[in-house]
Amino acid sequence: QVHLVESGGGLVQAGGSLRLSCAASGLTFNTYTVAWFRQAPGNEREFVAARSWSVDNLLYTKYADSGSGRFAISRDGPGRTVYLQMNNMQVEDTAVYYCAARGGLDASQITATSGYRFWGQGTQVTVSS
């Protein structure tokens, strides 16, 4: 059974940084596409970033415009944890952040919530002004 568990959320001041983690059980991310989405109150869940690997080869990376240059998605060596490093955070980054995963790569679906089979429960990120 696959479980994804996010951690690392919290309260940060504008301009600060946070690193979110997504730990997997029941799979390794080595041959998966892993994404981060976020959802603010009253808003739809939106794409933040995604990366796809084939074992040790990085296949594809995509960032939403909102996080480009500020956010970075990475993976640990064994492929059990994926990270989202968020720098120069802004108030509008406040949301619940979710990690999601799917086997293989479908670049046409990489930003769509429907493109992912497995989801974590989310972690709250709050940025204060």
pLDDT in tens, 76-94: 888 899 999 999 999 999 9
Mean pLDDT of 11-31: 95
Taking phi first (over 0 means left), then psi (-120 to 50 degrees means alpha), and beta for anything else, what does residue 28 get?
beta
C-alpha to C-alpha distances, 30 to 18, 25, 53, 54, 82, nearest whole angstrom:
24, 13, 6, 6, 10
Tell which wins on pLDDT, 57 or 120.
Answer: 120
In this prediction, residue 124 carries a pLDDT of: 98
pLDDT digits (tens, 9 = 90+) for 22-60: 999 999 898 899 999 999 999 999 999 999 988 778 889
- What's residue 99's pLDDT? 98
Neighbouring residues of 39: CB distance < 8 A, sequence distance ≥ 6: 45, 46, 95, 96, 98, 122
